[in-house]
Each structure stands twice: as structure tokens, then as C-alpha cells.
Structure 1
Amino acid sequence: MARIPDAIFVVDPKKERICVQEAHALGITLIGIGDTNCDPEELDYIIPGNDDAIRAVKLIVAKMADAVIEANQGEENLEAQMEEAAEAAEEGKEPQDIEEVVAAAEAEQE
């Protein structure tokens, strides 16, 4: 890992006690599944759920993974659009109208 993460996702804060303590010490945001045996004050963002049931954990972790992947793709698209705008500015082209940019982005998604 090149840098400290912005956030950490834990399935069971009680079992991952060391991770929770380290995150608090470093000021890292904690997101996690909180069962009835967990202290909700340990987590910055709590997802109420049964952290002992495999099916529940699989569902929540899959949704979290999908959200991270979607966010990373959006970040990559934004970087590509910024590079295109920088190239256009270097070539002396006038900036596009916002409606044109939105229409082009929607066309790419379809």
C-alpha cells in the first residue's frame, strides 16, 4: 500500500478489534457491519446487520464492492474528461457547452 487508506470496511468490529484500534489511532474512517454484540460508537458509519450469517455478509460485502468499483470507474471517466479538456485547451479549441458534454457522456454509457 502506497498510502494510508481513507476508509476501512470491517465485517465484525469485535473480532477485528486490532484493526479498529489502529484505525482510531490513525484517524481512518471506519465503516462496518454492526451486530447486537458490537459497540456502535466504534464505527463512524454502521451498517446494522448480522455479521455471523454468511448470506447476510455476502450480500452486504457484494454491495460495498459494487459501490467501490462504480466509484472508481466514475473517477477514471472524470480523469479522462479532464485530460480531453486540457488537450482541447492546448490546441486552442473553445470549451464545449455543458449540454454537449452531458450528451456525449450519455452516448458513451449507452
Structure 2
Amino acid sequence: MATVAFYGPNRTLATKIAVGIVDGEGQDARLLERWRSEDGVDIRFKTTVINEIDRFLKRNKVRSVVMVDAIIGCPHEEGIDYPDGEECPACPYWHGRDRFTGERIE
């Protein structure tokens, strides 16, 4: 099974897609690939990226896909792009928001 999630600086522009390969329900991804868009174009509409993801899924013999229907958070990674426990300085839209609903939680 594969999981597909979209990330972006706000709820309307996706700049990152993460695809994980999972062997069974409740398990962590054994393989995770990420695609990024740095040019301001929504990555969900880039044919070259969609084709790469399709090849990735076929190469890993994926039989089902679970995908979110919205952008679910900042494209930057805590502990890699900014310090653990802090909010991303590049994505103020997400400060104090629930990543699944986009609603303010503060």
C-alpha cells in the first residue's frame, strides 16, 4: 500500500508530495520518497512529477493508495529544516493551526 500526502506553505499551494510504501495497516513506511516544487507552481499539477510518482508506485508493486484530499501542513521538516519543537519560520500560515482542518487551535 502507498500513502500520499501534500504539503505547502498554506492550504492552497502544494509544494511537496510525500509518498510512503507501507506493508500493512498500522505499520510505518518502509520507504519514503518526496518531490518538491521550488518555482511557485502547485506540484499536484506537474505532469513530470505525477509520472515519476506513477513509476515509483509501479516499481514497488503498490496495489492500493491512501491519499489525503487537502494540504496537511508545512513542507519543511522539523529537526531538518528548523529546530525540533519550534514552528517553521518559513511558513507562518501554519502557526497555531490544526494541520488537518486548517482551523486555528490557539
TM norm structure 1: 0.24
TM norm structure 2: 0.25
Higher relative contact order (Cα pairs below 8 Å, separated by 6+ residues): 2
Choose between structure 1 and 2: higher strand proportion: 2
Q: Work out which of the two has the higher radius of gyration on C-alpha atoms and give 1 or 2.
A: 1
